Structure 1
Amino acid sequence: MPNPTLLVIAHGSRDPRHAATVHALVREVRRRRPDLRVATGFLDFNLPSVPGVLESLAADGVRDVVAQPLLLSRAFHAKADIPAVLSRAPSRLRVRQADVLGPSPLLSAALRRRLYEAGLTPADKPTTGVVLASAGSTDPEAIAVIADIAREWRHTGWCAVRPAFASARTPRTEDAVRELRELGCRRVAVARYVLAPGFLPDRIARGSAEADVLADVLGPAPEVARLLSERYETARRPVSAALGA
């Protein structure tokens, strides 16, 4: 039996950098997994839409789909929006929703990669405070993920680590930067725990004005592409088993 098609589901944005970054990540997944058919759909703002992609796949004879939310935590989109869209897929498609990307050691590795690409080195860790800045959410589960990562990072040699949020929760990035300064960290770096540019990542950047280092978004980091493949493999196993593969 052929491998199930991987459908990457992104939120979408009016900012053209968002879709460009999503497509760059999908290209990296295709490069790593030439054995897979990989499609991309957006929940809002961008085309193709998720319903449109599902219809197109069904019309093309695809039977099995693994839908991978391009999300870092289990919040409203993963729990409500995406399941609702997938429930309306053509009946001839067997669709399984994969787990969200985070938390994962691979995302932590991608965050470190972006910090080092922005100019830090491992030798800077004892004198550098890190703001782990995310988009923010009203969902306690999503907020807990950021807090857990920050706690883990505190034990890996950084001067100090503080979470921050661009919306819904506090502290804001600028407040966390200020706190790390007051703690005596020689330099302050902001790691953006977001996948693609857009309104909220830009808000994080503005709040980083007093920081020494601002890391890029995760984007098409190789660790993220590898994680997409791992989530796909985990999700496809029940599908394969059901088909007797």
Structure 2
Amino acid sequence: MTKTGILLVGHGSKKAYNKDLITKTAEIIAQKHPEFIVRCGFMEFNEPTIRESLDSFRQEDVDSIAVVPLFLARGVHIDEDIPGIIGLAPGQKRGIFALNGKEVPLVYADPIGPNPLLADLMMENARAALDLI
């Protein structure tokens, strides 16, 4: 049975907790959505790299891949670096990924951006901090 691949992309950091945030988020997505095969990859400092994780889908039976950056806003990595790594031109959102003798659609998601869920999370953090007073 084919599934959709999700590649969650993080920046990467020399601080272990930053890698943990991405890997644990990928694990949560995989647990909540077993119909997807979820991987994570990093721009720099951590492994697996974006390319390594994308290539790992070659061992899976996927019919499409969504590359989803866990970034808040647009920047050089979002607009240029990541698209280049996954074989897209800047500004391009759709492409093809050669996978085990077939070509599957590859799509590139936007960063989080302004989102009511993010605002709710920030208010939750603010309330938790205010409880310390």
| TM beyond 0.5 | yes
Q: Note closer, same or farther for the CA distance 1:28–1:59 as it changes in structure 2 (3 Å cut).
A: closer
Structure having the higher helix fraction is 1
The answer as to 2:64 corresponding to 1:64 is yes
One-letter amino acid of the counterpart of residue 8, structure 1: L
- CA distance in structure 2 between the partners assigned to 1:100 and 1:94 by the alignment: 19
One-letter amino acid of the counterpart of residue 98, structure 2: S
- CA distance in structure 2 between the partners assigned to 1:31 and 1:90 by the alignment: 25
Residues 112-127 of structure 1 aligned to structure 2 (within 5 Å): 112-120=123-131
Partner of 2:83: 83
- CA distance in structure 2 between the partners assigned to 1:25 and 1:56 by the alignment: 18
Aligned sequence identity (%): 25
The answer to whether the 8 A contact 2:3-2:62 is kept is no
Aligned match of 1:100 in 100, 108, 111? 111
Q: Note closer, same or farther for the CA distance 1:31–1:116 as it changes in structure 2 (3 Å cut).
A: farther
Secondary structure of residue in 2 paired with 1:12? coil
One-letter amino acid of the counterpart of residue 97, structure 1: Y
What count of residue pairs does the alignment treat as equivalent?
122
The answer as to 2:122 corresponding to 1:111 is yes
The answer to whether the 8 A contact 1:58-1:90 is kept is no
Structure having the higher strand fraction is 2
One-letter amino acid of the counterpart of residue 102, structure 1: G
Per the TM alignment, residue 16 of structure 1 is displaced from its structure 2 partner at its CA by: 0.8
Could you give the per-residue CA deviations for residues 33-83 of structure 1, whole angstroms, max 9, x where no partner exists? 232211111111111111111111123343410000111011111100110
Who wins on radius of gyration, i.e. which is larger? 1
Per the TM alignment, residue 20 of structure 1 is displaced from its structure 2 partner at its CA by: 1.1
TM-score, normalised by the number of residues in structure 1 = 0.45
- CA distance in structure 2 between the partners assigned to 1:37 and 1:72 by the alignment: 23
